[in-house]
Amino acid sequence: MLQANLKTPLGTVVISGDENGISSISVFDEEREISGVIPEALQEAYQQIQDYFNGERIDFTFKINPSGTEFQKKVWQGLLEIPFGKTMSYQELSIQLGDVKAIRAVASANGKNPLWIVVPCHRVIGTDGSLTGYAGGLWRKKWLLDHENPVKQQSLF
């Protein structure tokens, strides 16, 4: 498994994968050595994630290859359909996937998403609009949603 580390405003991103696609993207608080030479199989993902944080990209086109159950993959595919700058509740996602009663299972699969940012689990919010649990920390979820907000508010202060 190949790896590359990228410094971002939210911490060090670790990209893992091989010629079959990217299998994992994680973020860490602690400093990690930033990659000098990026393995060829990870270069496209590395560049696209860098472009995302620079405000130059709203979607990802590199090949992904996450490991998970069929149900988890179905949920992650549903997450991929949430447009940049939009949010959806767990309940709405459950309905979209065909079973409103599966809300807890959907939330669990959402929490096991191995492809941080790329499979946009940060775009899922509570039915009441609240920023519900997020494995990367609610401060990161808020940052990502603000970053993707098409109506950027300038502070008056």
Which residue of the set 121, 124, 125, 144 is catalytic? 121
- For the cut 50, the answer to whether the pLDDT of residue 157 exceeds it is no
Identical fold, 2-53 and 70-148: no
Contact 57, 111 (CB under 8 A): no
Q: What are phi and psi of 64, to 5 degrees?
A: -110, 155
pLDDT tier for residue 153 given thresholds of 50, 70 and 90: low
Largest interatomic CA distance in the chain: 49
Does 135 or 54 have the greater pLDDT score? Answer: 54
Q: What pLDDT score does 14 carry? A: 96
Q: Which residues of 76-98 are buried (b: 16+ CB within 10 A; e: fewer)?
A: bebbeebeeeebbbbebbbeebe
Of residues 121, 128, 86, the one with CA closest to residue 106: 121
Instruction: Determine how β-strand 88-89 pairs with β-strand 21-28.
Output: unpaired
Per-residue pLDDT, averaged over 7-16, amounts to 96
Query: Is 84 strand, coil or helix?
Result: coil
Which are the contacts of 121, defined by CB distance < 8 A and separation ≥ 6? 79, 110, 111, 113, 134, 135
What does the mean pLDDT of the chain come to?
92
Distance in angstroms between the alpha carbons of the first and the last residue of the chain: 47
pLDDT tier for residue 154 given thresholds of 50, 70 and 90: low
Domain boundaries, the chain: 2-53, 70-148
Angle at 18 between CA 12 and CA 24, to 5 degrees: 40
Read off the pTM: 0.90
Q: Does residue 121 carry a catalytic annotation?
A: yes
With residue 18 as reference, give the H or E element that holds it.
Answer: strand 11-18
CATH fold of 70-148: Arc Repressor Mutant, subunit A (1.10.10)
* Beta bridge partners of residue 11, listed in sequence order: 8
Which option is the CATH number for 2-53: 3.30.160, 2.30.30, 1.20.140, 3.90.470?
A: 3.30.160
